[in-house]
Structure 1
Amino acid sequence: MTSLQKIPVPAASVLAASLHDADFADCYLLPDPQPARGVFQSYLELAALTPGWMSALMAMRNRVVRLVGLKHLGSLSPQDGGKPAAAYRIGERVGIFTLEQLHADEVVVGDNDKHLHVRLSLLRQRQPDGSTRLALSTVVHEHNRLGRIYMWVVGPAHSLIVPLMLKQVMRAQRR
């Protein structure tokens, strides 16, 4: 597989158990460029390849949402780019998210505040032919009206931006 595919959140993902009451969920399947690396290392590398335009959108988002009481999240890529994957602990910040769970084939990061609980999973899926793919899932639970309004705006944008960003990341990985 060399292209990006939109798929349901995999049943094998930790996030699958929370889908029954999720307000937003999506998943994209992409090639695994480094199957020998740990899945958290793969997540850090994906985050580090965040395109400049996405970082600019996050900066704009941070400025706008502070006006309505949402928090400034920072940027997607971890600020401590030199920190090895093995040095991170559950509960530590990794870019805009907190490391929630780490398993052999899946990492879950998220952000939970009074408005939303956003979680991302990167799941390494082993294929029958021996290859692996990465499933990047997003699941959101809205806690209140402001969270619903935020997702009313961000949900459609997310569905356009994430595939574009992942395609650009995939091109960068092939270089």
Structure 2
Amino acid sequence: MILGVYPTTDLADAYAIELPSSATEDPETLARFVFSQKSAVVAGLLAIRDALVGIFGIKTTRQLKSHEREDKSTRVGMFRIYSSGRSEIVLGEDDKHLDFRLSLMCCNQSQNTRRVVLSTVVHCHSRLGHIYIRLISPFHRVIVKSALRRAARMGWPQEAPSP
């Protein structure tokens, strides 16, 4: 659980979507799937973000993705893996202006209903961080909700058959 990771939190949110019974419960598999399903709109928003933040010395998506090529076992897309368990994976990144963590958790709502919950917490280090998070938070919310809906439309990865 990422709540309480930082002494102060400048952004915290969580979004959930129902997971079909046939879908895998493996959080890393689900995270890799969710973060690989980028719409053209999201790709465009990230390109605009990268063009603007590079001026301020903030890591761009290209810089973050370059780490993935080095070692996929420690990253999911552009995000570093901080912890991984049976029902939750915690991803994120630290930068000079802010640190953030993303949690993708699988949980049972009832005997027949499962959900994927994608949570984010952000801790700002500076005025630049506070300005940045204020500017991008509306886009962040749209992107996270869009990523979950898009993954559901594409069809969640299925549970591997038992041998």
Q: Give unpaired runs (5+ residues) of structure 1.
A: 1-13
Offset from partner CA, 1:50-101 (integer Å, 9 cap, x none): 22221221122111110122121239989979x9xxx72xxx2322210111
The corresponding residue for 1:116 is: 98
Map 1:1-175 → 2, pairs under 5 A? 14-18=1-5, 21-33=8-20, 34-74=22-62, 88=73, 92-173=74-155
Q: Could you list the runs of 5+ residues in structure 2 that have no partner in the other structure?
A: 157-163
TM-score of the pair, normalised by structure 2: 0.81
Task: State the SS of the aligned residue for 1:18.
Answer: coil
- Aligned alpha-carbon RMSD (Å): 2.7
TM-score, scaled to structure 1: 0.76
- Is the CA contact 1:48–1:78 (under 8 Å) kept in the aligned structure 2? no
Runs of 4 or more, structure 1, over 3 Å off, are 33-37, 75-81
- Alpha-carbon distance in structure 2 between the residues aligned to 1:69 and 1:78: 16
- 114-123 or 129-138: bigger deviation: 129-138
Give CA-to-partner distance per residue, 1:108-134, whole Å, 9 cap, x none: 000111111111100000122243110
Shift of 1:41: 0.5
Q: Percent identity?
A: 31
State the alpha-carbon separation in 2 of the partners of residues 25 and 116 from structure 1.
13
